[in-house]
Each structure stands twice: as C-alpha cells, then as structure tokens.
C-alpha cells in the first residue's frame, strides 16, 4: 500500500479568537467613524482656531497666527472667565459627593422587596428625560430648580456671613441648587441598583451567621463591592455637569464666539482650558476613588 502525501489546501483561515475580534470591531466601527468625524476632527480644528485670530468674511475664514495669545488673554486678562472656571470647579466638587450619596441611598431602598418598585424607579429616572434643552431652561427661569428664598432667610444669612470667603460660595450654591443637583441622580441610581443586584447574597448570609449587623454588612460588604461603581458614577456625574446646557462657563464661551472682542479663536482657547480643568477634576476623582491595588477584597 503506497503512502500518499496529502498537502493541505491553501487558503486564508481565521482562528475563532480572530473572528470574534473582527465581529467586535465591526460592531464598534460605527462609533469609531462617528467619533473621528464628529469629535476628533472638530477637536483638531478648534485647537487650530485657538492659535489664530479667526475672522469670518464673505470669501471664507481668514486666520492670522497669534500663537498662544488667546490662552494668555483667557488666563491673565479675562477675570470673568477665570472666575467662572473656578466657580465651576468648586460647584462640581460640591455636587458630585451629594449626587453619589443620594444615588446610593435611593438604590439601596429600591433594591429592597416592596410593591410598585418599578414605578418608583421610573419616578427617579424621569428627571433625566426632562433635564435637557428648552425644558430645563424654562424650569431654571421659573426658579423650580431651587428652594425659593432659602439663601435670603435671616438664619442662613448669618451662617453664611460667618463662613470664610472660599466656603461661602459653595455652601450658598448647595442651598440654592440642591433640587437641581438631585435631578442628576437618575442614571447613577440605576447603575448602583444593577451593581447591588450582582452582589452574592450568600455573603450577607454568612456575615449574618457570624453575628454581623446590617450596618456592619454595609461597611464591610456592600460599600467595598460598589467601589468601582462609585468611581464610574463620579466620572459620569462630572461629565454630565460639565456639558449641562445651563453651565455658566459654556454659556460664556458661546457668547464670546460671536462677540466683537472674542471670536472663534478666543472661544477655542477657552474651550481647551475648560477641557483641561475637566480632565484635572476627572484625574483627582480617579485618584481618590479608584480601588487600591494593594487591598485584597
């Protein structure tokens, strides 16, 4: 019997892992293309504008290079922009802990077994739907996002007068905008709720057998299990507050875009400075809330 040498058929064969990777890239390709066209290209163009004095004429856009003059003007000769930038950073640092704590408390309640649970989830998520565009602008104009007259009451006025100047502004913002802050908690509540439902209930049963109270179980089991979720919610909250339509910094930049003394170049420089402050806040948040690698959970 003669042995026959069978040569393998030539062709291009993908492994299972390679095919799965291609499927994944195919699904996210739409997002990648959209990001490049609608985000990356405008970012590069805005940075180019920020280094020039941009003038819109009948024949097109004229750009005169000014190097970093727009950035110097925004930081050193425009006190309004710097003041708004500092106010934005302080208000964000005040709002994020409130949103996180409120969202966690509501999620803990919604995770309990009771009737009409789905109805209450809808109620807490409803502000996410209405806090956009003309609706939120009208609500802010009518004063429904704050407690009327709370900052003007005698007791509050006396307390605010005793505070240092760097604390007076954040506390007053907290009192006057408390309702608006809580409106940003809908998505965070759902994220916390999904994370709570993924915690193995047998861990709580074992802790109860060992004599742990509900309070001890929260601090030793629930809170550590939600550390990554807390970081995600904090980052989401910062980004949401930063691109909020009623953000004073965004309004000021928009107004300067078409101002005689402003223009696209100056507005572009302020936009990048605002973006750098946002990145700084995200970096501080990640540094403070990120789970320590040395800790074993």
Secondary structure (DSSP) of 212-254: --HHHHIIIIIHHHTHHHHHHHHHHHHHHHHT-TT-HHHHHHH
- pLDDT greater at residue 6 or residue 69: 69
What pLDDT digit, counting tens, does each position of 1-16 carry?
A: 555 555 555 556 778 8
pLDDT category, 60, cuts 50, 70, 90?
confident
Average of per-residue pLDDT across 111-115: 81
Q: How is residue 57 written in tokens?
A: 């004429």
Residue 189: how many other CB atoms lie within 10 Å = 25
Cβ-contact 269, 81 below 8 angstroms: no
Instruction: Judge whether 239 and 92 are in contact, CB under 8 Å.
Output: no
Alpha-carbon gap, residue 284 to 85, rounded angstroms = 16
- pLDDT: is 177 or 119 the higher one? 119
pLDDT of the residue at 184: 78
Residue 228: predicted pLDDT: 92
Q: Please, which pLDDT band fits residue 267 given cuts at 50, 70 and 90?
A: very high
CA distance 114 to 178: 28
pLDDT at 253: 92
Mean pLDDT of 246-272: 87
Average pLDDT over residues 185-209: 88
Per-residue pLDDT of 131-146, as tens digits, reads 666 666 666 666 655 6
* pLDDT score recorded for residue 262: 77
What does the longest C-alpha to C-alpha distance in the chain come to? Answer: 108
Q: What would the pLDDT profile of 157-172 be if each residue is shown by its tens digit?
A: 666 666 666 666 666 6
**Closest residue by Cα to residue 72 from 62, 82, 85:** 82
Percentage of residues in the chain having pLDDT higher than 90: 26
* Segment 231-247, tens digit of pLDDT: 999 999 999 888 887 78
CATH 1.10.3720.10 fits 78-289, yes or no: yes
**pTM for the whole thing?**
0.78
Asked whether the beta carbons of 266 and 64 are under 8 A apart, the reply is: no
Cα–Cα distance list, 201 to 3, 196, 198, 206, 230 (Å)? 63, 10, 9, 9, 20
């Amino acid at each position: 019997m003669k042995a026959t040498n069978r040569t393998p058929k030539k062709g291009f064969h993908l492994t299972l892992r390679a095919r799965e990777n291609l499927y994944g890239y195919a699904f996210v390709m739409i997002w990648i293309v959209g990001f490049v066209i609608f985000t990356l290209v405008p970012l590069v163009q805005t940075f180019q504008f920020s280094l020039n004095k941009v003038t819109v004429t009948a024949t097109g856009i004229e750009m005169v290079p000014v190097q970093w003059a727009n950035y110097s003007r925004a930081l050193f000769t425009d006190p309004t922009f710097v003041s708004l930038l500092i106010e934005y950073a302080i208000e964000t640092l005040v709002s994020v802990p409130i949103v996180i704590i409120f969202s966690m408390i509501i999620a803990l309640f919604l995770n309990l077994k009771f009737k009409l649970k789905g109805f209450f989830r809808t109620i807490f998520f409803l502000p996410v739907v209405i806090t956009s565009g003309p609706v939120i602008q009208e609500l802010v104009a009518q004063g429904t996002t704050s407690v009327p007259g709370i900052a003007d009451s005698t007791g509050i006025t006396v307390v605010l007068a005793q505070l240092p100047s760097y604390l007076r502004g954040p506390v007053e913002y907290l009192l006057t905008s408390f309702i608006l802050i809580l409106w940003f908690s809908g998505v965070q509540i759902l994220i916390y709720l999904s994370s709570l439902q993924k915690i193995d209930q047998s861990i709580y049963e074992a802790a109860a057998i060992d004599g742990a109270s509900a309070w001890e179980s929260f601090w030793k089991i629930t809170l550590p299990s939600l550390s990554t979720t807390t970081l995600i919610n904090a980052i989401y909250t910062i980004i949401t507050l930063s691109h909020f339509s009623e953000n004073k910094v965004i309004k000021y930049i928009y107004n300067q875009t078409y101002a005689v003394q402003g223009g696209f170049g100056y507005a572009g420089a302020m936009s990048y400075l605002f973006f750098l402050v946002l990145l700084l806040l995200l970096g501080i948040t990640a540094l403070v809330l990120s789970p320590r690698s040395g800790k074993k959970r």
